[in-house]
Amino acid sequence: MSQYQDLKQACYEANMQLPALGLVLFTFGNASVVDRDRSVFAIKPSGVPYVTLKPEDIVIVDFDNNIVEGTKRPSSDTKTHALLFKEWTEIGGIVHTHSTYATAWAQAQLDIPILGTTHADPLTVDVPCAPPMGDELIQGDYEHQTGWQIINEFQQRGLSPSEVEMILVGNHAPFAWGKTVEKAVYNSAVLEEIARMAYLSTTLRAEVPRLKDALIKKHYERKHGATSYYGQ
C-alpha cells in the first residue's frame, strides 16, 4: 500500500465533491491537499473524467513540481497549486473550477461586489478579480505565473489569504483555498453562490447598493469574530 494512501483518499474525496456540488463539467477542475510534514501535495491527474477517477489515480507532487508517486500526469494547473502552497504556508487545500457564475465574473474582469449578507458571512470585502496576464507571461511558464498573478494581486490589495480565501483570475476562472481541503471545497461552492446571487442582483437592478458596513461587520463577526455565536 502507498505511504500516501490517506493523502490520496482525502484528495479523491475532495475532487469528487466538485461534480456533486455542480462546480465542474467533464474534467474542468481540480482539488489538491498538502502534507506539510512531508513537503508534498496530492492532486487530481490531468484530463481524467470524474466518473472514472479512482483514489489510486491521484498524483503526489513536491513543491518543485516533481512527481513523487503516481503513474499519471498531474493536473495542468499543478504549478499554480505548488506555488500557492509554497508561498502561503497557512493553507492546506486548493480548489480550482470553471463554475459558471464565478467564471462569468472572471471573464468580465470584475470583482464580485459585496451586496448582501450571504457574501458578508465569509468575507468583508469584494471577491477580488486579478487582471488578465500579460502576453509575455502567457507565452512563458503560464501555470507558474498564474500562481504569481494571484499572489501579486493579494499583495497589491493588502489582502491576507487567511481572511480572503478566494479569487477570480481575469479571463480565466476562480480559485479557492482553506486551512483544509474540505474548507477549500466549501469556499469554492460559496464563491459560486455569491457570484450567482450578485449576477442576479445586478441583472434586476443596474446600480445595486453595496451592503452597509454595519451589516458587513455584524454578519462576518457573528461567525468569525472574538464573540462569534453562529453554530454549535
Contacts of 206 (CB under 8 A, 6+ apart): none
50 is catalytic: no
141 is catalytic: no
Interval 58-95: pLDDT, tens: 999 999 999 999 999 999 999 999 999 999 999 999 99
Q: How many residues does the chain have?
A: 232
Sorting pLDDT into bands at 50, 70 and 90, what band is 169? very high
Summarize the confidence of residues 117-139 as an average pLDDT.
96
Summarize the confidence of residues 145-168 as an average pLDDT.
98
* Active-site residue (options: 111, 121, 142, 199): 121
CA dist 68 and 124 (Å) reads 39
Interval 216-228: pLDDT, tens: 999 999 988 888 8
Interval 98-117: pLDDT, tens: 999 999 999 999 999 999 99
- C-alpha torsion sign, points 205, 206, 210, 212: negative
Buried b (16+ CB within 10 A) or exposed e, 105-120: bbbeebbbbbbbeebb
Q: Residue 136 phi/psi, 5° resolution?
A: -65, -40
Domains defined along the chain, listed by start: 5-224 (3.40.225.10)
The structure's pTM equals 0.97
**What are the cell numbers at 225?**
469574530
pLDDT over 80 (residue 1): no
